[in-house]
Chains A and B, each alone.
Chain A
């Protein structure tokens, strides 16, 4: 038995991980979340804006990180739509174009009566150039975005007609999986032009952005836990969302996350037990 664990094939570990994630997911295990201070700051940043404010929805993530970031992006979209904010969707990642579309589908399907394309939301799509795009749109949006994704001139769309640049945005909401992403939006837009900004990033990306909170970044959502807390905050403020199961995506993922974390803790303990047992026996590694 001892030998089995000493020379444990990593495939047993992988199988264990698959089992501990699959079972809670199938069981629908979930737990209540208490929004932390940083999540509350993000919530307030969106909620305390006057209805109908201009929000730049900069979604820079791809299918690989969709699992972690889609719930927070969708919650941002729903929260802003509830406040009847004017939403300008944009991305710096080519693979994020379908992600924008999925969020627009949320507006069409869930807010279709109150939300009209061109008057309440617009999809500007993707432009290549990474942070170069940000440097242009902070001074002249139409220099790079003459048309929206449908080919319609911004000059002809009611909500973009009088928008010269993103300095006219009341808030930047950025969901980002890497580079270019939140850091670039902070450095070249939010900080330089004093535009209020909140961001949602993956767990590994959050520590790099803590230095920007709270001066350059009003609030930060880091990892799926923060997304779950934000969903909790939004559904507490707007109970009508509780009828829609799609608003609980992040909360649903916290159950498997908890069990997986406990599994990793158990693996670490097991690894150390093996280590000390071998040390005691004087077994060279």
Chain B
């Protein structure tokens, strides 16, 4: 016999509960929280960085279908401020177990907590770090140690060889055809009664190629002053124009021809790349300079300049450190200074011993680079045949990560 239900409302309540459950669908369970949140100082910084690490939520597995975790929210508060509340400072994707907070104030202790957030935006219980932490200031960035070492070796070599050269020792420098031809080019322009065109590139004075171009301009201007040739220097930047004017004026003064200097021969055209080259090529076709020097940073306009110079029969000497433009100059110019030859130009043309010494220092730097490459390739090849956790693999990893990688030369 079925006993009657004591609560007269029970059937309705039961029905209501069933309706609520079915209407809501499957219950949205919040994800399980991450665990073991630890906070440590971010190394090699100015004390404004902390690293927050945690163990992933148990629901954060690559095989979870459907996926539960969407991301992790990382929050912090000022531990010394009693009224402070946790605020969101960053998010990490699923599978990520750390975050760097680089927005800290030096010396201030922060307390962090990590919350797992589901795809449906439901949040786990926050997991608070065991203790608060403050960023520590490091005076030296240790991660750039190898960068400093290699820089010192190369710079040291340059300085040492400059001193050796100053002591009077003869240094053997190979002939660079393009630089040997500078004299010939300016002389040719003088004989033909035509001008010398010098283009110091299209970048501003803060680029080393432009500085190198200006130093070559100094030598070319000196020759032009000596031979009495007309020199034209159209520039693409105002600061380059002012620097070039000072340089050319000094060269004319040194050559004993200050009266021949005309500041209007060094003039500004436009910053715009193709506007500049249109103006220069127009000038070339009308004025027909006998010698054209392209010394500096160039981009797509290099071929237009070189081909126009070729069409007017000018002798052309180019020098640039833009690898993508070198083929165009090589194809269209009489002489091309490739990469480091261009930076050596000023030293080479001056003939001064201490400047030539710097070229030797450059060569030593190259030897160091070649040595590192050969050793590195050899080690990497041998490591490929050895155990993955062996000594060779560790050495190769150290070279890649600390000497050449993010912690070393790759800043």
Contact = CB atoms under 8 A, between A and B. Distances in A.
B146 interface: no
B323 A207 contact: yes
Contact of A64 (B88, B274, B411): B274
Interface string B267-298: 00000011000000000000000000000000
Interface string B299-341: 1100000000001000000000001110000000000000000
B47 to A, nearest CB: 15
B91 interface: yes
Contacts of A207: 323-324
A217 B299 CA distance: 23
B90 A191 contact: no
Interface string A168-198: 1000000000110000000100011000000
B311 A191 contact: no
A204 B410 contact: no
Given A139-B102, A207-B323, A64 B91 contact: no
A99 B311 CA distance: 35
Given A64-B273, A139-B102, A192-B406, A208 B323 contact: yes
A164 B90 contact: yes
A36 B411 CA distance: 32
Contacts of A179: 299
A179 B347 CA distance: 28
Given A10-B311, A204-B300, A168 B323 contact: no
Contacts of B273: 64
How many chain A residues sit at the interface, stated as a range, is: 10 to 19
Interface residues of B, number: 16
A202 B88 CA distance: 42
Contacts of B323: 207-208
B274 A208 contact: no
A54 to B, nearest CB: 11
Contacts of A202: 300
Interface in A200-221: 202, 204-205, 207-208
Nearest to A193: B100
Given A205-B324, A208-B324, A178 B406 contact: no
B406 A64 contact: no
A208 B273 CA distance: 21
Interface of A: 10, 64-65, 139, 162, 164, 168, 178-179, 187, 191-192, 202, 204-205, 207-208
Interface of B: 88, 90-91, 102-103, 273-274, 299-300, 311, 323-325, 406, 410-411
10 contacts: A65-B300, A164-B90, A164-B103, A168-B91, A178-B300, A187-B411, A192-B411, A204-B300, A207-B323, A208-B323
